[in-house]
């Protein structure tokens, strides 16, 4: 509901983070780990809650086969424009991240990226999202989640803890926690996002 209202009034400051070098460099360094020095194409990537396609377009430009899923029609409209302007290929699906199988995004994703959806869900929705991500991911997949620390911030996403992530993804292991530096963004300073990236890999005994 927050994101639908935000796009309706033109409020989407998270799109500006692509221009903030510390944040972008930290995220793309995690992507580079999956590329492992190989030439493209790299595999299938799913951009969860893709919004206007900021990060999905960047992945596509690097050589990933990208699908973006979002339930906000206006955001997907912006994504289509961004994809056209960038001259890349990226499939868009209007759907719910807690019902990916019903949304027909398809299976076999090597990289699943979420830059701000999981931390705004309820505990039940997080478990649903974890189950659905597990179902559509390849055996050797990686999940990258961008999350605020838990704190009341009015209508903004509530944030989450590492324990919340682990509970929602029981078949996965958090193998890295990386600072998602959003300073000197003034909103970040005021609201104290304390943002981090969680990198998850499947547990060997659950593959």
* Residue predicted with more confidence, 120 or 15: 120
* Residue predicted with more confidence, 6 or 19: 19
Does 198 map to a domain?
yes
Domain containing residue 52: 1-8+21-85+101-140+180-207
What's the pLDDT score for residue 21?
Answer: 80
CB 69 within 8 A of CB 48: yes
Q: What is the pLDDT of residues 57-101, one digit of tens each?
A: 999 999 999 999 999 999 999 999 999 999 999 999 999 999 999
According to DSSP, the β-strands at 90-94 and 109-114 are unpaired
Q: What is the mean pLDDT of the chain?
A: 87
Does 127 map to a domain?
yes
CB 16 within 8 A of CB 51: no
State the total domains in the chain. 1
What's the pLDDT score for residue 191?
Answer: 53
Does 14 map to a domain?
no
Cα 130 from Cα 134, distance rounded (Å): 6
> Which CATH number fits the domain that encloses residue 123?
3.40.50.150
Does 158 map to a domain?
no
Does 91 map to a domain?
no
- Tokens describing residue 180: 């998602």
Long-range contacts (CB closer than 8 Å, 24 or more residues apart) made by 174-183: 174/198, 174/199, 174/200, 175/199, 175/200, 175/201, 176/30, 178/26, 178/29, 178/30, 179/26, 180/23, 180/26, 180/27, 180/146, 181/20, 181/22, 181/23, 181/26, 182/17, 182/20, 182/22, 182/23, 183/22
Does 188 map to a domain?
yes
Does 152 map to a domain?
no
Cα 132 from Cα 160, distance rounded (Å): 19
Distance of CA 95 to the CA centre of its chain: 14
Does 155 map to a domain?
no
Asked if residue 179 has pLDDT above 60, the reply is yes
């Amino acid at each position: 509901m927050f994101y639908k209202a935000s796009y309706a009034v033109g409020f989407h400051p998270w799109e500006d983070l692509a221009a903030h070098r510390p944040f972008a460099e930290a995220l793309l360094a995690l992507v580079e780990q999956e590329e492992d020095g190989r030439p493209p194409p790299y595999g299938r990537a799913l951009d969860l809650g893709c919004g206007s396609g900021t990060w999905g377009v960047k992945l596509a430009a690097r050589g990933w086969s990208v699908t973006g899923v979002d339930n906000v029609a206006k955001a997907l409209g912006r994504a289509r424009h961004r994809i056209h302007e960038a001259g890349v290929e990226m499939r868009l699906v209007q759907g719910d991240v807690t019902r990916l199988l019903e949304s027909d995004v398809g299976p076999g994703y090597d990289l699943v990226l979420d830059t701000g959806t999981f931390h705004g869900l309820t505990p039940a929705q997080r478990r649903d999202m974890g189950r659905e991500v597990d179902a559509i991911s390849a055996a050797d997949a990686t999940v990258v989640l961008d999350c605020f620390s838990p704190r009341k911030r009015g209508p903004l996403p509530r944030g989450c803890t590492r324990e919340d992530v682990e509970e929602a993804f029981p078949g996965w292991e958090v193998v890295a926690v990386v600072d998602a530096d959003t300073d000197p963004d003034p909103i970040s300073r005021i609201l104290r996002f304390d943002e981090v990236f969680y990198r998850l890999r499947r547990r060997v005994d659950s593959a």
